[in-house]
Structures are given as C-alpha cells and as structure tokens.
C-alpha cells in the first residue's frame, strides 16, 4: 500500500480508511489510489522477471458499493485483461 493513501489518518488499511475521512475525500483518494498504484507496466515487469502469477487481494465489497466502501470490480477486470 502507498502510505500517502493514509495521510492524515491513523488507518492501517482500506477497511478503516473511510471511517476517518469525509466521504467525498475518501472516494477521491481511493479512486486515485486504485487508478495509479498498480498498472499495466507493473504486470509487464512481473512477467519480465519470469513470474506467471500474482496475488490480488479481493475485498468482500468488490462487486459493489457497500457503505462506506466503494466496489472495485472494474480494477479486478483490468488486472485480468
């Protein structure tokens, strides 16, 4: 995890992050994090190292918003593609 995601909070992970931020701030911050933290270049690098698998943690709210969390199925789809 990028430590900047948690700036201004005492949260240790994405589960506690929305409990410490205004909903609009949380939404903007988590969407930016998900869009920028891992990208296609990272998968290419992993492949260049001779690895053929990655572990992707999947939260229980992946398929849709479940307050206060924001679903992330689109990000998983991008990883599979």
Report the candidate in 40, 5, 37 with the shortest Cα–Cα distance to residue 21. Answer: 5
**pLDDT on residue 1:** 67
Per-residue pLDDT in tens (0 to 9) along the chain, 81 residues: 678 899 999 998 888 999 999 999 999 999 999 988 888 999 999 999 999 999 998 888 888 878 889 988 999 999 888
The Cα 36–Cα 18 span in angstroms is: 19
pTM: 0.79
> Residue 1 to residues 12, 33, 48, 50, 56: CA-CA distances in angstroms?
9, 9, 22, 23, 13
Q: Which H or E element spans position 42?
A: helix 40-48
């Amino acid at each position: 995890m990028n430590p900047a995601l948690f700036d201004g909070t005492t949260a240790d992970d994405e589960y506690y992050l929305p409990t410490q931020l205004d909903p609009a701030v949380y939404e903007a911050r988590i969407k930016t994090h998900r869009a920028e933290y891992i990208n296609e270049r990272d998968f290419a690098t992993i492949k260049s190292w001779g690895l053929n698998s990655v572990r992707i943690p999947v939260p229980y709210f992946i398929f849709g918003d479940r307050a206060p969390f924001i679903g992330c199925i689109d990000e998983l789809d991008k990883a599979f593609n």
